[in-house]
Amino acid sequence: MSIAEIRKPYLLFLGDTEDELSAKTARGIAIWRPESALGELRLSDRTVSLGLQNMSLEEGLAAGAKTMVLGVANRGGIMDEAWLQTFRKALDLGLDLASGMHQRLADLPGLADQAASLRRQLHDVRHVRGSLRVGNGEPRSGRRILTVGSDCSSGKMFTALAVEKEMRRRGIKARFRATGQSGILIAGEGIAVDAVVADFISGAIEELCPANEPDHWDVIEGQGSLFHPSYAGVSLGLLHGAQAQVLILCHEPTREHMRGLPGQAIPDLLDCIEANERAAKVTSPKAKVYGLAINTSGLSAEAASEYLASTEERCSLPCADPMRQGCGRIIDHILAHG
């Protein structure tokens, strides 16, 4: 399968959205790849802002932008018809387009033909292109870290990016491997694993994280949770395809139930550790959880400190909030024992 690379730097399209949460894709790019975020394009004064320079298409092109990224993810993933004029103009001026929405750029009236005639690229990153193969589980060189979760949306992408950043700061060869639409637009490449037919998930991840140098670390963005009835299949395919030697368990401690399932309790962390290690050992016999990344944003500083300390003692593993403390202690543990 060909993993298309999205040309950088980006002009981040915010359209006319007034919802801060809807701009999470653009915000993620601005936080984690600021060198790739040249500016933002807002269609009205009421549109949310990331604090970047507001640019027209012409100004973005003059600044060096190669791709206009749809940085918003509205409810239902449907693009506003009013945006099409801007998309057409962007292609005419020389920009590629990239989107993580459910609706495809290629399905908008006339846009695919226009892009083809101008030799521009349309990147619908939530839709997998090209042929797929099944995984084989054969051992491969290189080192791999996979973030796993007690639940969905528990900080797996954020933790993987934080680990990559800290490893690179230390001079360690590390590369973030994206498996979701926001991660792909941050990294500029990847595979949206939730769009892959189940039989091919592990094979897609094997291709995303191929054999590498013995001292090179792929830091793989996890998805879902083995304990979530809706998404456990994706999580298991990722575990088998990643063939990771190191797992980092991500957890949000204030939830009362699994996301979207009021009747489904949050699993015990020790059960999570045991289940993920057991599943990972199918293709990586020495796989272990080496730390817990805890999202304590819903706790006070004092409560967060107490929770991290008690969880570390109970699980006998380093625990840290990547936002509040960074991932340094977890990386220290990985390098010392992994």
CATH number, domain of 190, equals 3.40.50.300
Instruction: Report the pLDDT value the prediction gives residue 132, as an integer from 0 to 100.
Output: 84
Q: Does the residue 136 lie in any domain?
A: no
- Domain residue limits at 242: 143-337
Q: Which CATH number belongs to the domain containing residue 105 in this structure?
A: 3.40.50.720
Instruction: Give the whole-angstrom CA distance, residue 185 versus residue 157.
Output: 12
Q: Along the chain (338 residues), what's the average pLDDT of each consecutive run of 10 residues? A: 78 89 88 94 92 95 96 73 93 95 91 96 85 92 98 94 97 97 91 92 96 97 96 96 98 94 95 98 98 96 97 98 95 93
Q: Does the residue 66 lie in any domain?
A: yes
Instruction: Report the pLDDT value the prediction gives residue 79, as an integer from 0 to 100.
Output: 84
Instruction: Report the pLDDT value the prediction gives residue 82, as an integer from 0 to 100.
Output: 86
Q: Does the residue 197 lie in any domain?
A: yes
Instruction: Report the pLDDT value the prediction gives residue 73, as an integer from 0 to 100.
Output: 77
Instruction: Report the pLDDT value the prediction gives residue 18, as an integer from 0 to 100.
Output: 83
Instruction: Report the pLDDT value the prediction gives residue 2, as an integer from 0 to 100.
Output: 47
Q: Does the residue 36 lie in any domain?
A: yes
Instruction: Report the pLDDT value the prediction gives residue 78, as an integer from 0 to 100.
Output: 73
Tell me, yes or no, whether 163 and 280 share the same domain.
yes
Instruction: Report the pLDDT value the prediction gives residue 76, as an integer from 0 to 100.
Output: 55
Instruction: Report the pLDDT value the prediction gives residue 1, as an integer from 0 to 100.
Output: 46
Q: Does the residue 304 lie in any domain?
A: yes
Upstream peptide bond of 267 is cis (omega within 30 degrees of 0): no
Q: What total of structural domains would you count in the chain?
A: 2
Between the alpha carbon of residue 272 and those of residues 79, 134, 269, the distances in Å are 38, 26, 5
Question: Domain boundary residue among 90, 124, 158?
Answer: 124
